[in-house]
Structure formats: structure tokens, C-alpha cells
Amino acid sequence: MGPPLPLLVVALAGCLHPVRSCIICEPSVVTELKNLETDYLPEHLPPEAQKDVMKRVEDAVQDFKKLPIDDETYMGAVDEPTLHKASWSFLTDLKRIMDTGVKGELLVKELFWMLHQQKESFARLSAQFLREFYCPNKCGLMLQTLIWCNACEKQVHACRKSKDCGERQVEIYEMEDMVLDCELNWHRASQGLTDYSFYRVWENKTESLVSKGKEPTLAKPMVGPEDEGTYRCELGTVKKSPATIMHFHVKVLPKKIEGETQLANTTAPADGAPDETTIVLEQPSPDKTLKRHLIWLLISGVALVTVGIGAV
């Protein structure tokens, strides 16, 4: 049982220029088509159907490659996840056909229909790639590996946008922990990234390096007034240009919760001794603590939230 499949395989593998379905770039697809050719077809297709089948499969494959190149659906290249998705879809369909043990004319029809479906599926995935995953960075430089479908060639593609990824205003209370986060969501999908460097930018425009490493954040516990100022983060790449530059303007506010620790200490009946606030209460009761809180609220004007937390 010969030719239809060899033809299919050859057509898929070799004759799809200038635009060919990328899925043939996946070795698993090539392997599975070989299996179809050598294992399945000889058992399921009569020799006399060959010529007709050959022609029809040829047409179907011709149709498969007629995916027009444009800005919105297909650019001749996709990323690896898209290629995996498309190949998986194709292989699943092919396996489904072979699992049914379908023969003869019906087999040809199913293969033909499947190729048609898969062409549409690939077009959809390719359009989705262009919409959602192609150069998703709004700023900076992202390096993305693409597979060019014509030659099954992998290339690193540079998505260049405006260099500066903007300024962040950060307000933080004294004695709290400061965390400056330089990570943008496309960083994880980018190739060729090196380190995040954080610099302190002084008034006189000079900079000093504060930290450098794979961590996208700069953390400083218990900030003081001396930490107020401008910081710059730079994420490096293997290329000359950095992937991302971001500025942080940090303002350190006066200590927020002076009263909170006092309140907590006051209400903790460590030694059971009454303090002056309990004197105004008529008798000790289970909600004594709450009442004391309320009095403290009136006295010190501490936020209601604190009372709730303290009373628990």
C-alpha cells in the first residue's frame, strides 16, 4: 500500500514554500507522519485508490500552505509555545483518526478534513500569538525566540520600545520596610536577561550602586529619612541595551502608628494590676478590654480599625 502517505509526508515536509505550516518544524510531527505512512496506511488504504488520493491530498496540502502573511494573522513566524500548541492539536487529531482504524475512502476524507481543520487552527493560534504574545513589552527591550516557519529556523527577535519604563512614586512611613519592585510581567518570558541593578540617584546627579542580582526587588527594612530620594533600576540584557530602566521617587513619611504599640501594651493585662483607665469603669466585665479600648480611642484618637484588631 503505497504512495498517498509518502506524498502527504513529502508535501508537508518539503513543498510548503514559501509559507509552510510551522508544525512540520516539530520533530514529533515528522515522526508521527512517518508512522502514518509506514504503519497505518499500508493496512488501511487499497492500492487502486492511490492516484486519486494523491491528487486530493496534494490539493489539501497546497491549501494548508496558503496562509497569507499580514500584520494581524500571520507573520511567517511564531513563538515556541504557539508552535507546541499547534503541533499538539495536529497530533491529537491524527492520532484520533488512526485510533478509529478508519479505512479507504473514509480515511482519505478524514485526513482531508483534518488538514483543513488544522490549517484553520494554526491560523487562529498564529493570530492569537500576534495579538497577545508577540512583543508584549510596552517599554524597554524584550528578546523573544521565534521560529521562522519557512526554514524552521529559530532566531532571537528583539522587541524594542521606548527605553524608559517610567517613574514610580513610592510613599512609605518611617520605620517600615521599603520594597522597590522593578519586575514587569513580560520579564519572565524574555530571553537573554542578566541582572537587576538598583542605584541611588543623588541630588548632584551621581549614582551609587545599591544592589545587583537576579532579584527584581530592592528591599530595605526600617527606612529612615535618609532613605528618601530617587532610585533607578536597570535590568541588563546580553545585548548592549538594557531591558528596562525604571525610576522610583521615594518619600519617607513621619512615623504612622506611634499610638498602636502603646495601645497594645496598655491593654495587655500583663500583671493584672488596674490602671487609671479602668477606674472609670463601674465593674470589671468580659468586655472590659473593649471598653478600655474605646476610652483610649477617645483619648488618643487612634483609628477605629486599631480598636477592632486590639479587641480580638
CB 312 → ligand NAG: shortest distance, Å?
18
Residues 196-215 close enough to bind ligand NAG by CB under 6 A: 202, 204, 206
Nearest to ligand NAG of 43, 226 (CB atom): 226
CB 299 → ligand NAG: shortest distance, Å?
16
CB 233 → ligand NAG: shortest distance, Å?
19
Nearest to ligand NAG of 239, 249 (CB atom): 249
Neighbour tally for 310: CB within 10 Å:
20
Nearest to ligand NAG of 261, 283 (CB atom): 261
CB 286 → ligand NAG: shortest distance, Å?
23
Neighbour tally for 46: CB within 10 Å:
11
Nearest to ligand NAG of 113, 202 (CB atom): 202
Q: What is the DSSP string of 17-51?
A: -SS--GGGGSHHHHHHHHHIIIIIHHHHS-GGGHH
Side by side, the strands of the sheet bearing 244-253 are 164-173, 244-253, 229-237, 193-201, 207-213
Number of amino acids touching ligand NAG (CB under 6 A): 6
From CA 131, how far away is CA 151, in angstroms rounded? 23
CB 202 → ligand NAG: shortest distance, Å?
4
In this structure, the strands spanning 164-173 and 153-160 are unpaired
Is residue 283 a contact point for ligand NAG (CB under 6 A)? no
| Alpha helices, DSSP H, located in the chain | 4-14, 27-35, 41-44, 50-65, 80-100, 104-128, 258-267, 276-279, 288-300, 304-311
Contact letters for ligand NAG, residues 243-272 (x by CB under 6 A) = ------------------xx--x-------
Binding site for ligand NAG (CB under 6 A): 202, 204, 206, 261-262, 265
